[in-house]
Chains A and B, each alone.
Chain A
Amino acid sequence: MKPQDFDFLSSLLRRRSGLTLNPDKVYLLESRLTPLARRSGMESLDGLIAELRKSASEQLMRDVTEAMTTNESFFFRDRTPFDLFRDQVLPMLRQRRAATKKVRIWCAACSTGQEPYSLAFVLKQQEAQWRDWKFEIIGTDIARPVLQKAKEGIYSQFEVQRGLPIQLLMKHFKQEGDVWRLSEDIRKMVTFREFNLLDNFAALGKFDVIYCRNVLIYFDQSTKSNVLERMRKILPDDGALFLGAAETVLGITDKFRPVRGQRGMYLPSDADQNLMAPAS
């Protein structure tokens, strides 16, 4: 790939999705965009780049962005964030939201839906304890094909074996030929929306808990910092943020602080009362 073509594509991706690509990722561009070029009726990646330059087609730019997003996901990924949700976050929310009995959770960059559905499984297991509460779980992603898959709740045999306990498979999935379909009662606990993390969060409203795992790693420092600072604005002082195991706020923003001993969990650092403190 010519250096000017790499610059063109990486600049396009950065502008549209925040994705930062170093020149050592040329292979990634080639391996993901060559199939897209062929599907779009072009002979090669050069043809796709020429078409993008010439037409600046919104559809084609969107297809390129979607092809370059990483959509690996699995149920209960890393386990700890879901154990913490069950053992730390939910008990504190029970105290702190006792007046409203409303909780909003955002899974940012939720890919094919396993993360929000894992939270839904946790809530479903405690259904009797939360009978008159309203939980809203919103899953967003920039890529429409993965959101469509998330909404349908259809997973391959491989996908349902990565992190999902067999008891949950038996209880909440129905086998349909080679695939497994998630039950309606779990699917209706999650709402999916197309959303770009570079856009204004105001349209989403406020959240009590945000899961933003394994997405910031694809952004440059200033985009990471910008996203986290805007997330702080839509979290109340006693809200909680979860990042991926390989991610941190240290050196990126001072709006959040890690919780000692609770890997991946972050609280607003400027709040007098945070989620982990007992309600006064």
Chain B
Amino acid sequence: MKSCLVVDDSKVIRRVARRILEELDFSIEEAVDGKDALGACERMSPDVVLLDWNMPVMDGLEFLKQIRGRSDLRQPVIVFCTTENDMNHIRLAMEAGADEYIMKPFDREIIEAKFAQVGLM
């Protein structure tokens, strides 16, 4: 079973993502911001991180830059999942090392398609 860290400051989004991903046979951990997510990555080394952009304390892009700079950690697949739906944000994320990008709102089909795209399904 693959593990997914769902990072979002919205409890509702975390719950929806958890339900979909559990149906897709992932084990789920949750984090509420980028800093919390870095700690979780150190603890559990997830296969994939589903990552929101706008969060308090540390946003998704900063988390992405930090984790990509950590050679001591196993690098997870990172899939952004955000309301930022313009090309500038997409480019910024991909240049910083994201593997895929989901524009909210999302549903099971989109998550499944995007995860398949990066070899997780």
Contact = CB atoms under 8 A, between A and B. Distances in A.
A158 interface: yes
A162 B86 contact: no
Interface residues of A, number: 13
Nearest to A170: B90
A166 B116 contact: no
Task: Name the interface size band of chain B.
Answer: 10 to 19
B73 to A, nearest CB: 23
B102 A161 contact: yes
Nearest to A75: B113
Contacts of B113: 74, 161-163
A55 to B, nearest CB: 41
B87 interface: yes
Main secondary structure of the interface of B (DSSP, over half): helix
A157 B87 contact: no
A166 B87 contact: no
B90 A162 contact: no
Interface in A121-170: 157-158, 161-163, 165-167, 169-170
Contacts of B85: 157
Contact of B110 (A161, A165, A167, A169): A161
Contacts of B100: 165-166
B68 interface: no
A77 to B, nearest CB: 9
B53 interface: no
Given A161-B102, A161-B103, A166 B90 contact: yes
Nearest to A175: B87
Nearest to A160: B103
A171 B101 CA distance: 14
Interface string A162-185: 110111011000010000000000
A60 B103 CA distance: 39
A80 to B, nearest CB: 11
B87 to A, nearest CB: 6
24 contacts: A74-B113, A79-B116, A157-B85, A157-B103, A161-B102, A161-B103, A161-B106, A161-B110, A161-B113, A161-B114, A162-B110, A162-B113, A163-B117, A165-B100, A165-B117, A166-B100, A166-B101, A166-B117, A167-B94, A169-B90, A170-B90, A170-B91, A170-B94, A175-B86
